[in-house]
């Protein structure tokens, strides 16, 4: 149903605030709780006398009472659900061998109970207005875990090295802000936050910590009723100034021994401020400082990594290590969303002059993302037309080529040098469509009573001169668009008077789906907000900075590169236009400023990019998910950070790399080869996680359903079911989504080499045959009309999985089921020589463990035909030293000649 009138009103905001306050007090909040509360308030407003309702709502005049329309109530319910019903779980912890011998409950079982938790209480009270209760609770739990893995500041000496892995734009700052508050409550007295490599990133971090920790100028937590001026931390930096020796002198904080309050320093990850800090400390303390220090290294995969030889480390890496060595009691926590470079650090590296390197040997903690996080998985899934708008190939080129032209003239050149600014005269038409979409989005959010900041990102170059030129061209277009909206927007049928108005209407109809407002309603709102939109380029030379003020809504089209690619948050980002490219997984992910929280306007968000970049992002996300999955497996196997054997599959385009070469000097590239022709592979290890079992059971029903819908040739043989000539897309869907248990990234140890099987399916044009076997168990499996008795298999319980007895899931010669009767005496190898297509065998299992307990599970086997002139599948991976060692051990155990490296 379309809302045909504006519903922006004080009444809506007031009712929402009242309901939100009552919901904050609820435990185990669910959608039906919100619906019931909304229905209760709807009834209260309808039946309560105006004078009484005025008191309930805190209004000055009964004339301020307005009846909300039914569509307003419906939207209010949806709005509250997106804000309050958020599912999130605590993270995954992997700890070091020596670390496990320490007191890892010192915070939650002792110190926290003794503390007044002043700084944390302020933080939690203040953040209630910004984050749903479930998210705040999880941040609290996560940071309790991290605190336990630091050290009690009362100890005489300690050093802790850890890493927290989050998601791009997922709230890592909120996490470490909470950690800082707890550290201050515990007694950490010197807290250093090493922010991004750009001034705007450092300034943004400083402002946030001023707000949620310091309470400077009685802002942020400083406005809370319980704020105590005498407990306000001392900050040696501020929103406008990085660390300077003169500033520190003026604040008279040179004697830590007399300091009872925490000291905060927020510095840019740059040589000069780090040098200043070290010089200041050295001047006042010839020996080590005795006060406990916490160092938060934000975006720790950037600039902190030693990219040189250990005898002569890089300057920033060296200075961070020197800073840590300056204190007897120190805890270093690296924060990153792209931890490839951190894990590639040699965990044995040390230097007598600067101390040990920054490898997180004590703990790695991987944060989960809340269900309302607008992340890579959601945007770059296999069916992502909803959020991705493809930039047509005719509008862009990767290399300037005199032979390449489009209908609009020379296409935009993605790869260019800074001199390109002199040549650049026009931008792709799709960019102007994105600008129109942004204008529409602001109007829709305003109609939804989301009167908050709005941003559009244009990231198409790394050169400042090109940013300036792009800003000018965008300004020219927008001024023209603005004039047309002002001239024709309020007329009936404005499309007939203006090309720009017609284009605006076309953008609304083609890019957005199922919006609750009519175009006429949206256009009316556009006319009232179009004058508020500003265009800003963000870089070190920018004359006018981008500001998100508290006292006015900002609507900004933002053009930039490096300054926008790490850490910097664009408020209310709904449209991104992305033409940058890079050869590194981690850099590319960090450029994705479109990740984050989009409560109430996720349906409006769009990312414009080329098909090539879309595919690269999808590939990188799979690699990142594999890394996080490996952390979960390590926890199950009781492994340590030093056991983090990492093999990252490299993109077929050899130019796309995991991270910069100098950050991965402790790794090597390996071409692993495997010839699957004539081979038989099966899931002899089956995950014992309940969620994996449920997912695989559903997946088995899905593939049976897909086979029936596709109407493939189907037959029964001994109560088993056979489908012939099945399109590989059905097989690919099953294999890609099956939850395997693998304790190494490539599946070599479990003898289910899933990476190679996926590669085989991608590269092969063959159809498949599929078999669902009937068994002799007690239970049944059924999907619609297809029914079999489950196959009974004995298993042994291992750590994290069940191992099928004798390591054999299939029995006898399972491929015989697809052969004619006259050939049923052939052995498996002979059958594979006669097969003309691969065979997928799916197994509905009834597993029985050593204690005679029974449970259902799903497995699969694959038999590959032996072809003449068979090809070897090659997978290129980048591995660290630990995985190289693990791989050699696994290959010795497996003894399989199919695996070898070049």
In this structure, what token pair is assigned to residue 410? 């020379």
pLDDT score, position 169 = 63
DSSP strands (E only) in 134-291: 158-165, 190-194, 234-235, 263-267
Higher pLDDT, residue 413 or 895: 413
Helix 10-24, helix 31-47: angle, nearest 10:
130
- CB contact burial 636-674 (16+ within 10 A = b; e otherwise): beebbbebbbbbbbbbeeeebbbbbeebbbbbeebebeb
In this structure, what token pair is assigned to residue 621? 């996300």
pLDDT score, position 664 = 46
pLDDT score, position 744 = 60
pLDDT in tens, 645-682: 554 544 444 334 444 444 444 555 555 556 778 888 88
Residue 9 confidence class, pLDDT cut points 50, 70, 90? low
pLDDT in tens, 41-95: 888 888 888 888 888 888 888 888 888 888 778 778 877 776 676 666 778 899 9
Sign of CA dihedral 618, 622, 627, 629: positive
Residue given tokens 């380029």 in the structure block: 537
Secondary structure class of 607 (helix, strand, coil): strand
Q: Any idea what the Cα angle at residue 492 is, between residues 574 and 429, rounded to 5°?
A: 40
Residue 896 confidence class, pLDDT cut points 50, 70, 90? very low
DSSP strand pairing (190-194 vs 801-804):
unpaired
Least confident interval from 103-117, 152-166, 859-873: 859-873
Mean pLDDT within 451-460: 90
pLDDT at 720 over 60: yes
Higher pLDDT, residue 372 or 802: 802
Helix (H), strand (E), coil (C) string for 692-735: HHHHHHHHHHHHHHHHHHCCCEEEEECCEEEEEEECHHHHHHHH
Bridge partners of 878, per DSSP, are 648, 669
Looking at residue 130, the DSSP 8-state letter turns out to be T
Architecture of domain 92-366: 3-Layer(aba) Sandwich (3.40)
pLDDT at 30 over 50: yes
What CA–CA distance (Å, rounded) separates 571 from 583? 28
Secondary structure class of 75 (helix, strand, coil): helix
pLDDT score, position 405 = 36
pLDDT score, position 543 = 78
Higher pLDDT, residue 262 or 746: 262
What CA–CA distance (Å, rounded) separates 657 from 585? 6
Higher pLDDT, residue 490 or 811: 490
Q: Of the candidates 582, 616, 587, which has an alpha carbon nearest to the alpha carbon of residue 341?
A: 587
Bridge partners of 413, per DSSP, are 397
pLDDT score, position 843 = 95
Q: Per-residue DSSP letters for 335-377?
A: EES-THHHHTS-TT-EETTTEE-----SEEEEPPPPTTEE-HH
Contacts of 693 (CB under 8 A, 6+ apart): 687, 855, 856, 857, 858
In this structure, what token pair is assigned to residue 504? 């605006």
Domain ranges in the chain are: 10-84, 92-366, 378-609, 675-872
pLDDT score, position 658 = 44
pLDDT in tens, 307-344: 677 778 889 999 999 999 999 999 999 998 777 666 66
Question: Do 116 and 185 meet the contact criterion of CB atoms below 8 Å apart?
Answer: yes
DSSP strands (E only) in 60-210: 92-95, 158-165, 190-194
In this structure, what token pair is assigned to residue 543? 């004359």
Question: Do 183 and 233 meet the contact criterion of CB atoms below 8 Å apart?
Answer: no
pLDDT in tens, 498-553: 999 999 999 999 999 788 899 999 999 999 999 999 999 887 777 788 888 888 99
* CA-to-CA dists, residue 98 to 202, 351, 356, 641, 782, angstroms: 35, 21, 16, 11, 50
Q: Of the candidates 185, 230, 174, 192, which has an alpha carbon nearest to the alpha carbon of residue 222?
A: 230
pLDDT at 881 over 70: no
pLDDT score, position 66 = 82
pLDDT in tens, 393-428: 888 875 544 443 333 446 788 777 888 888 888 899
Work out the mean pLDDT of the chain and round it to a whole number. Answer: 82
The structure's pTM equals 0.65
* CA-to-CA dists, residue 445 to 5, 8, 14, 522, 748, angstroms: 14, 10, 18, 10, 51
pLDDT score, position 902 = 32
């Amino acid at each position: 149903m379309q809302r045909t009138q504006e519903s922006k009103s004080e009444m809506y905001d007031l009712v929402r605030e009242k309901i939100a306050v009552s919901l904050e007090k609820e435990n185990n909040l669910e959608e039906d709780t919100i619906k019931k509360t909304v229905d209760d308030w709807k009834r209260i407003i309808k039946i309560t006398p105006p004078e009484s309702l005025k008191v309930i709502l805190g209004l000055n005049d009964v004339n301020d009472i307005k009846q909300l329309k039914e569509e307003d109530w419906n939207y209010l319910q949806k709005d509250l659900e997106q804000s309050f019903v958020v599912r999130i779980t605590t993270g995954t912890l992997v700890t070091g061998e020596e670390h496990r011998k320490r007191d890892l409950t010192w915070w939650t079982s002792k110190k926290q109970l003794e503390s007044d938790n002043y700084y944390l209480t302020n933080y939690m009270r203040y953040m209630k207005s910004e984050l749903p209760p479930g998210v705040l609770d999880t941040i609290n739990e996560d940071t309790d875990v991290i605190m336990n893995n630091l050290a009690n500041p009362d100890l005489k000496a300690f050093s802790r090295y850890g890493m927290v892995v989050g998601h791009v734009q997922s709230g890592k700052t909120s996490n470490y802000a909470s950690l800082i508050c707890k550290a201050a409550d515990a007694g950490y007295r010197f807290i250093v936050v090493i922010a991004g490599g750009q001034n705007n990133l450092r300034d943004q971090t400083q402002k946030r910590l001023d707000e949620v920790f310091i309470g400077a100028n009685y802002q942020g937590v400083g406005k809370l009723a319980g704020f105590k001026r005498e407990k306000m931390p001392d900050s040696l930096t501020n929103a406008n100034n990085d660390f300077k020796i003169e500033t520190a002198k003026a604040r008279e904080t040179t004697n830590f021994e007399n300091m009872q309050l925490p000291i905060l320093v927020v510095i840019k990850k740059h040589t000069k401020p780090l040098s200043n800090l070290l010089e200041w400390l050295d001047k006042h303390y010839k020996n080590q400082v005795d006060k406990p220090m916490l160092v938060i290294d934000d975006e720790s995969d950037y600039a902190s990594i030693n990219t040189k030889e250990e005898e002569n480390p890089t300057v920033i890496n060296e200075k961070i290590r020197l800073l840590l060595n300056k204190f007897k009691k120190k805890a270093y926590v690296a924060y990153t969303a792209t931890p490839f470079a951190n894990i590639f650090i040699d965990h044995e590296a040390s230097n007598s002059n600067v101390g040990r390197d920054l490898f997180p040997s004590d703990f790695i903690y991987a944060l989960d993302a809340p269900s309302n996080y607008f992340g890579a998985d959601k945007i770059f899934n296999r069916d992502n037309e909803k959020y991705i708008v493809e930039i047509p190939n005719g509008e862009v080129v990767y290399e300037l080529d005199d032979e390449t032209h489009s209908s609009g003239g020379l296409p935009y050149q993605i790869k260019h040098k800074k001199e390109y600014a002199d040549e650049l005269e026009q931008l792709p038409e799709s960019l102007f469509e994105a600008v129109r979409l942004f204008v529409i989005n602001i109007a829709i959010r305003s109609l939804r009573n989301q009167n908050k900041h709005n941003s559009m990102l244009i990231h198409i170059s790394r050169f400042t001169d090109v940013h300036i030129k792009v800003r000018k061209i965008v300004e020219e277009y927008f001024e023209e668009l603005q004039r047309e909206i002002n001239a024709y927007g309020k007329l009936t049928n404005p499309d007939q008077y203006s090309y720009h108005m017609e284009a605006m209407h076309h953008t609304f109809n083609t890019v957005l789906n199922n919006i609750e407002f009519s175009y006429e309603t949206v256009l009316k709102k556009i006319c009232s907000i179009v004058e508020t939109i500003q265009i800003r380029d963000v870089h070190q030379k920018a004359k006018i900075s981008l500001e998100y003020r508290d006292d006015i809504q900002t609507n900004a089209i933002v053009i930039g590169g490096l300054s926008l690619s790490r850490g910097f948050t664009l408020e209310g980002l709904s449209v991104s236009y992305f033409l940058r490219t890079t050869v590194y997984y981690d850099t590319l992910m960090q450029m994705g400023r479109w990740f984050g929280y989009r409560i109430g306007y996720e349906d409006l968000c769009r990312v414009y990019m080329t098909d090539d970049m879309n595919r690269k992002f999808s590939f990188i996300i799979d690699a990142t998910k594999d890394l996080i999955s490996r952390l979960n497996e390590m926890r199950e196997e009781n492994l340590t950070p030093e056991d983090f054997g990492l093999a990252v599959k490299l993109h077929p385009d050899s130019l796309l790399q995991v991270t910069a070469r100098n950050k991965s000097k402790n790794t090597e590239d390996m071409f692993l080869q495997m010839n699957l022709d004539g081979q038989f592979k099966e899931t002899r290890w089956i995950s014992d996680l309940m969620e994996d079992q449920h997912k695989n059971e559903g997946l088995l029903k899905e593939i049976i359903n897909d086979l029936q819908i596709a109407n493939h040739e189907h037959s029964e043989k001994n109560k088993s079911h056979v489908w012939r000539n099945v399109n590989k897309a059905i097989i690919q869907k099953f294999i890609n989504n099956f939850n395997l248990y693998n304790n190494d990234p490539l599946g070599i140890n479990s003898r289910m080499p899933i990476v190679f099987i996926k590669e085989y399916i991608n590269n092969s044009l063959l159809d498949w045959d599929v078999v669902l076997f009937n068994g002799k168990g007690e239970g049944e499996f059924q999907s619609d009309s297809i029914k079999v008795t489950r196959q009974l298999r004995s298993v042994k319980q291992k750590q994290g999985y069940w191992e099928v007895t004798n390591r054999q899931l299939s029995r006898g010669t399972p491929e015989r089921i697809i052969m004619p009767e006259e050939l049923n005496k052939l052995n498996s190898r002979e059958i594979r020589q006669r097969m003309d297509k691969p065979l997928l065998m799916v197994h509905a299992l009834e597993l029985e463990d050593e204690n005679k307990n029974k449970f259902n599970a799903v497995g699969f086997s694959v038999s590959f035909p032996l072809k003449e002139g068979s090809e070897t599948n090659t997978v290129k991976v980048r591995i660290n030293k630990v995985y190289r060692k693990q791989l050699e051990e696994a290959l010795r155990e497996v003894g399989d000649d199919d695996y070898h490296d070049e």
